[in-house]
Amino acid sequence: MSLLPALTGSYGDAPDAVRIGDDALSFEDLAAAGAAVARRIAGARAAAVTATSTVETVVAVLGGLAAGVPIVPVPPDSGPAERDHILRDSGAEVVLDTLDRHDRADWTDPAATDRPNLILYTSGTTGRPKGVPITGAAIAACLDGLADAWDWTADDRLVHALPLYHVHGLVLGVLGALRTGSRLHHTGRPRPDLLAAAKGSLYFAVPTIWHRVAADPAAARALRKARLLVSGSAALPAGVFSALEDLTGQAPVERYGMTETLITVATRADGERQPGAVGRPIEGVETRLVDDHGNPTAHDGVTPGALEIRGATVFAGYLGQPDATRQSFTESGWFRTGDVATIDPTGLHRIVGRASTDLIKTGGYRVGAGEIEDALLTHPDVREAAVVGRPDDDLGQRIVAYVVADEVAADTLVRHVATTLSAHKRPREVVFVSELPRNALGKVQKHRL
């Protein structure tokens, strides 16, 4: 099965089929440049590229796919120690930081097989980043499932400004376009005016970017002609969801995934859109919730459980780390995501957060940090909020809220939460900060709090 049919002419072509910033190439030119890179790196164990938001990064990735050489995208802002770890751990024998995109060769489209095509690295919040081999078969399963869920076709024009070293920006945002045949416009920088000027039909962004779009009414209203706005990589605040719906005329859709599983759960284009809901499993993916003892958790939309996933998009194991791999899978092959979720009787998923930081056990209750954050964000003076559990001799854990807000008293916010949620879910402590620590995709780094 062909992995990237757009590069073989299956969906026609255009001089600007793929545009990144002010740079554009046709599908044909992109394929020829990628084939030249494939010729250069043939036989290498792996090849790395500093994954800047450029056409050259795309060409390097395509070269690896065509050569059957796993590509290792390195974040451009990696420190020397992290970069050295990624290069050594992946076994990269070539670093494609200098290439001539005008070189040409004959393109051979790779097949979607069980051979690793990419080695992506986890964020490393619980240790050194781990290598995650991603196969062509997993990529194809993920993209085909999303194409079905989002009615994603060659008639679309995909617009985004996401980093090209993560699943969202690289797999969905680049390879997705080359699999579905949609035209791609990466705006280079995540500025609302640039996103609006791109005039896409399909937009991918993270909550930080959507927040900026919602704060720029003119740019947001320019997206009224788009048919689908997709948010992912972190929870979209309910206030941003509502603002986008008011300004663009449509509610965004959310989805869920991670490096190890690619995207597994998504709100369909024709499905019900609710703040905080990430939809239902795509085709070929199964999900389940379990409690602390591995027993099934009720799908009642209220009871949180540890989310486990099995299916065609899930990786086989961490690179060179058999112990970590063994700990991450159950005996029956379910991947332990480390996330906590609820599932309602219709199969609708909501992500509560990470089990390590977002499932708070206080006074005998299991409380999800996400619902408290959403409650805080409904207060008009609160701009950002992050909730964690802190050790407490009496409660086990006490609920602590870190808040970016205008002038408002802590006890006012505590009472505000108590008016919408159960009393045991109110913060016991409110800490005001000037900003929340976030990574490149806008996820709050709670371990830094």
Q: So what's the pLDDT on residue 424?
A: 81
The full 3-state SS of 88-145, as one line of letters, equals HHHCCCEECCCCCCCCCCCCCCCECCCCEEEEEECCCCCCCCCEEEEEHHHHHHHHHH
Tell whether the model's pLDDT for residue 358 goes beyond 90: no
Q: To the nearest whole number, what is the mean pLDDT of the chain?
A: 92
Q: What is the pLDDT of residues 50-97, one digit of tens each?
A: 999 999 999 999 999 999 999 999 999 888 888 999 999 999 999 998
Decide if pLDDT at 441 tops 70: no
| pLDDT tens by residue, 15-40 | 999 999 999 999 999 999 999 999 99
- Given a cut of 60, whether residue 417 has pLDDT beyond it is yes
Q: Which amino acid is at 403?
A: V
Closest by Cα among 446, 439, 449 to 82: 439
- Cα torsion at 353, 357, 360, 361 (round to 10°)? 130
Residue-wise pLDDT for 309-319, tens only, equals 999 999 999 99
Question: At 363, which amino acid appears?
Answer: G
Residue 389: how many CA atoms within 13 Å on its side-chain side? 25
Q: Which of 233, 180, 227 is nearest to 199 (CA)?
A: 227
pLDDT of 308-349, one tens digit each? 999 999 999 999 999 999 999 999 999 999 999 999 999 999
Which helix (DSSP H) or strand (DSSP E) does residue 270 occupy?
none
Residue 204 pLDDT: 97
Distances (CA, A) of 391 to 354, 399, 427: 17, 9, 14
- The string of pLDDT tens digits covering residues 100-144 is 889 999 999 898 999 999 999 986 545 678 999 999 999 999 999
Q: Quote the pTM value.
A: 0.85
Find the mean pLDDT for residues 353-372.
76
Please list the residues that pair with 119 across neighbouring strands: 133
Q: Which residue has the tokens 């050569």?
A: 67
Bridge partners for 19 per DSSP: 24, 185
Which residues touch 178 (CB under 8 Å, ≥6 apart)? 4, 5, 6, 7, 18, 27, 184
Q: What integer pLDDT is reported at residue 391 of this predicted model?
A: 86
Euclidean distance between the first and the last CA atom of the chain, given in angstroms as a whole number: 46
C-beta separation of 34 from 68 below 8 A: no
Q: Higher-confidence residue: 132 or 236?
A: 132
Q: How far is Cα 303 from Cα 292, in angstroms, rounded to an integer?
A: 13
Domain boundaries, the chain: 5-254, 359-448
Mean per-residue pLDDT for 370-394?
A: 87
Give 381-387 contacts, CB < 8 A, sequence gap 24+.
381/405, 381/406, 381/407, 381/408, 382/408, 382/413, 384/435, 384/436, 386/436, 386/444, 386/446, 386/449, 387/358, 387/360, 387/427
pLDDT surpassing 60 at residue 381: yes
DSSP 330-343: -TTS-EEEEEEEEE
pLDDT tier for residue 394 given thresholds of 50, 70 and 90: confident
Q: Report, as an integer, the average pLDDT of 188-199.
A: 95
Q: Which CATH class is domain 359-448?
A: alpha beta
What CATH number is given for 5-254 in this structure?
3.40.50.12780
Q: Could you give the percent of the chain with pLDDT greater than 90?
A: 73
Better-scored residue on pLDDT, 356 or 230: 230
pLDDT of residue 227: 97
Give the model's pLDDT for residue 273. Answer: 94
